[in-house]
Amino acid sequence: MKTMKLGSSDLNVPVIAVGCMRMSALKPAQAEKFIQTALDIQLNFFDHADIYGGGSCEEIFADAIHMNDDVREKILLQSKCGIRKGMFDFSKEHILKSVEGSLKRLKTDYLDVLLLHRPDALVEPEEVAEAFDILESTGKVRNFGVSNQKPMQIELLKKYVRQPLVANQLQLSITNANMIGNGMNVNMENSSAVDRDGSILDYCRLNDITIQPWSPFQYGFFEGVYLDNDKFPELNTKINEIAEKYNVTNTTIVIAWLLRHPAQMQPISGTMKPSRLKEICSAVDIKLTRSEWYEIYRAAGNILP
């Protein structure tokens, strides 16, 4: 498995992260098989959040991997906090409490990475900085980052937070690619010219922040997958055509499309099927041509100026 540096950290991570959001749907034997498959193909970076399955995903994971000191040394754990029922919460108290909960459920003493899950309108960055300092000094969190944040939100945190912010987890797929399209539709009057993200793609590249695309197979906001979907005939025809050329599945080509971008992103897989995880993993061995990348981009309805 190819690896990469996570942002400006010293972490050497697989270019694919294993998302664990849906793990609560698995029976114990299924969860154990899935995790073993991931480890067998050298995917040892697991992405969690305190809200996934109401916390049960972290518990199921720890049991399925048979967590102990020897296992812990061989894997990398990332979790997220900040989403509560009916609100977002980046208070010092909540961050510390959330991390303690994740550590307990994951049966570990530390997280390799902690992300702030969604922007909190009432964030007091001084409190975030205090929480991060405590978590770092006690060894409970080794690296920090954000999720779904724009440049100025990150800059506000950086004014107070001492630790580098090494990752930003953002929704990005072939059909949800505004952060890419916006960069090409400069000085235009079409919908793609609207800057909804504050040029977050370029910002992350400039600041050595790894973008972790989530829901790479979804269109809209969890409206469904676009692969083999009649709503996207041109896109599926093009993806299938290129998949046949490389003798891989359409799933593989979707991830290869993300990996082809020079921003060196780390896509978050969401599948709980061992076979599909292997298909996702196969993408690291494919480098789409520039022409193929743009053909897929345009087949999704994205426009070029």
Express as a percent the part of the chain with pLDDT over 70.
100
Which tens digit of pLDDT belongs to each residue from 157-182?
A: 999 999 999 999 999 999 999 999 99
pLDDT of 220 > 90? The answer is no
Q: What is the rounded distance in angstroms from the CA atom of residue 171 to the CA atom of residue 213? A: 5
Q: Which pTM value belongs to this model?
A: 0.96
User: Which listed residue (52, 219, 226, 297) is catalytic?
Assistant: 52
Arithmetic mean of pLDDT, 63-91: 97
Is 52 one of the catalytic residues?
yes
Q: What is the rounded distance in angstroms from the CA atom of residue 144 to the CA atom of residue 127? A: 15
What the chain holds in terms of domains, given with CATH numbers, is 3-299 (3.20.20.100)
Which tens digit of pLDDT belongs to each residue from 46-56?
A: 999 999 999 99
Give the per-residue pLDDT at 208.
98
Give the per-residue pLDDT at 12.
97
